[in-house]
Each structure stands twice: as C-alpha cells, then as structure tokens.
Amino acid sequence: MNEIDMNETARVRRLLGEPPPPSAEASARALARLEEAMAPGGRHVRPSRAGRRRFGRPLQLGAGLVAAGAAAAVAIVATGQGSPGSPPGPPPGSVDLNKQAVLVAADRAAEQPTGNYWSAERISGQAYVVRAKTGTYAIFGAHSETFHWAGARKGMGEAYYDRDLPARPQTPRDEALWRRAGSPSSIRVWSGDAYHTYTTKATKWRVNGPNVGVDPKGGGSFYGLGSGGASLGDLQNLPTDPAELAGILSPAEMKRAMNPKASGGKKLKEGVIPRLQMRRTSTLLSAPVSSKVRSGLIKALAAQPGIRAIGRVTDPLGRRGVALATPDWAITETGEFGTPKAQQGTYRSRNVIVFDERTGALLALEDQLTEPGGPYAEMKPGFVISYEADRSPRWTDAKPKPPAELPF
C-alpha cells in the first residue's frame, strides 16, 4: 500500500470511529428486508418450510436465499448482468473509500474466543406486494427464524430449531397503507405458483434437526466447503491469506458447489458467479472460522471481479454497516404457471452483503431491486426483495438455548 493509500485508510478509520447520521435513502431502507431466490439462471422459486436453510448444515449454493420450493414454480429468464444506469466505479488511480471502509472492517473482524458450544441465529423474509383497493403496500411474508447450536467436539450434542415470524409491513409508509386497508391479520399473496396466506402471528420454536430433536451424539461438525460437514479444526485452519481464500470463491468452485457432478467445460450464466461467491462467503462467515480467516474472506470477496463496495447501509434489523454488491441482472416472470398479469414482467436486482463496520461481523445478505418491473413495478430502486440477517453468532461455555423473545 503506498503512502496515499495509507493516508486514505487512516482517514476511513477516523470516519468509522464517528460515523455520520444515515442518509435519507439509508433511513428509508432501515425497515426494508433482504434477499430473494437466486437459483441458477435467475429462476424465482417459492419459499417452503422444507427448504429453509439451517446453520451448520450442508447447503447446495444454487439454492435461493429464502429457501426454494418447487423447481418449476415460475418461469424466469435471466438476461445478463450490469445495468446502463448502474453508478460507475471510481476513476482509475483514485482511492475507493467505500472499498477501503470494507477493508478496515475486515481488519477489525472480531476475535472469537473458542468455547464449548457454537450457536448461530438467522432471520429471513420474502417480500410480497399487496395490491389493496385502498393502496398498494409491501409486506415481508414467509418470515422465519432458525437457531442452531453444536458442541465443539463430537458427542457434545447439537440441535436445530425454527419458528415462523409475523408477516409485517416493510416500511412506515407500508404500515400506514396496511392500516388503511383494515390492518388485516391474514394476508393473501401470490407466491411461486399459487396463492398463499401469511399471518401476523408467530409460532413457537420447533425442534427441527437430527433425529427430530437434540442429537446427543452430534457436535463437532459444521458446514464446510463440500457436501458434508467440516470439523472445527478444518474451518479454523483455512488459509488466512485473501489470495489463497480467493481460490474457494473461484468460478470452478462455484460451479462444483451448484452441481458436484457438473463437467468442467460448461459455463455458468453471466451474473451467477458473483451471487454464488457472496453466498459462499456469507455461509462461511456464519460458521466458527477464526478471526483471521473471517478477515481474509471479506477481503477476498471484495477483490472479486464484479463485486463493488457501495458504502454505508442499514440492515433489516436497523444495524448500520458497510456493504458490497454484485452486478444487477434481469429477471422476467411469465404467465407460464398461472402467474397473475400484475405479477408478470421484467425487473432487475442485485445481491448486497452487509458487515458491521466496527467488528467485521456479518450482518445481512439481501436481494435489492435496482430497476422496477414485473411483480415490483410499483416499488422503487432499493426495495428489498428478500433477506437473511444474522444475530449474535458466538461461542459459549454453556449449552445454548434459542432466544425466547421475538426479534421485532
């Protein structure tokens, strides 16, 4: 790093020490929720309980952020990445302060002391547009929360829990329109290939894992880089050099993650690779990797072609952070599977990953609208299509329990 870059980095560190108030745009997004289905080729698939993701469990990276339902739920056509209206990057030779902020966050990645049990909690939601007679508003439905704990060594036990969270309007404006519509406690929306009803009530935690309960023989295995689990040692002994970690984000690795039996010569559709790279990074940052590996992963992702730093944002739980984004791409929903006319059309979206700017911790992964159209024709750029938000992944010495209180 040259002297100019070092000076700029020092400037960013000072800025991060006393962050300015959020912009009006960031504040408007504070209640917006994140991430959508990103199955290969841009297929938009319906969330289902069976497909909901669990921490610590194997995951095929072709799955959507909000878990997938039937593969043929909706016909979607991906038409490439990059939008003519996308903001340009910094001029050649200049310092990208947004990227520097991400790198500073990586340097501040929290030291995670190893304990007896690792636990992780994740909240996810899918956006739906409700076209009421009194005004169109957006909600988050298919709202769910997962909690997983595992002992550091085999035989210490593990368990998986999930519960449904209340459907809720996305923003204060949406809430006002929901109230104008009579504050319905049950909301019927088109989801995938059929109408579904989401309610404003939560459910109790369900034990949902090995042997349909707490597995006393489990533990010692966490989500790794293959189709099976990895030991704590495997994860914490990953390389720390960002250049080496970039190897696990390579196009070849992303392709194998989607389909381990795929031949080496077939190319993925344009725009898929950055989304899969972001997904893999998110998955590993939710696992008990060392702080140096955590820092290296953030830096490796920030260096990938097509990944761009976008500055400070507010995550769906109201936490401020610095973010990276993929290029956007077009998705077209057709009427092939009975999709209503109002849901049909083309829109563009991008994935955004958010880090705590003071600790480097992963906060959220979202899918964000960049060009309105189709089911989101009435929404504005920045609208959150779906999301996953992490809450307090950590080591403890006592056996963890899922939180009793609701997150909102």
Residues 97-155 pLDDT 10s: 888 888 888 888 756 677 899 999 999 999 999 999 999 999 999 999 999 999 998 89
Lowest-confidence pick of 70-74, 245-249, 302-306: 70-74
Does the pLDDT value for residue 96 go beyond 80? no
- What φ, ψ does residue 395 adopt, rounded to 5°? -95, 145
Tokens of 183: 């504050």
Reply yes or no on whether the pLDDT at 41 is more than 50: no
- Bin 143: left if φ > 0, else alpha if -120 < ψ < 50, else beta: beta
Q: Residue 146 has which token pair?
A: 């997962």
Shortest CA distance to 46 belongs to which of 32, 31, 67, 16? 67
Q: Quick check: helix, strand or coil at residue 405?
A: coil
Shortest CA distance to 355 belongs to which of 294, 290, 280? Answer: 294
**How many other CB atoms are there within 10 angstroms of residue 162's CB atom?**
21
Check pLDDT > 80 for residue 385. yes
Percent of the chain's residues with pLDDT above 90: 48
pLDDT beyond 90 at 275? yes
Mean local confidence (pLDDT), 299-309: 94
Calculate mean pLDDT across residues 152-172: 92
User: Cα dist. 67→5, 45, 179 in Å?
Assistant: 41, 8, 29
Identify the band that residue 233 occupies on the pLDDT scale cut at 50, 70 and 90.
confident
Distances (CA, A) of 31 to 27, 215, 317, 369: 8, 37, 7, 15
Where is mean pLDDT largest: 4-8, 161-165, 314-318? 161-165
Give the per-residue pLDDT at 235. Answer: 87
Instruction: Average the pLDDT over each of 48-57, 162-171, 189-198, 208-217 and give the range with the smallest value.
Output: 48-57
Residue 264 pLDDT grade (very low, low, confident, very high; cuts 50, 70, 90)? low
Res 202: pLDDT? 95
Confirm if 331 and 42 have CB atoms less than 8 A apart.
yes
Neighbours of 153 (CB within 10 A): 12
How far, CA to CA in Å, does 371 sit from each of 282, 350, 405? 25, 10, 36
CA separation for the pair 378, 320 (Å, rounded): 27
State the pTM of this model.
Answer: 0.76
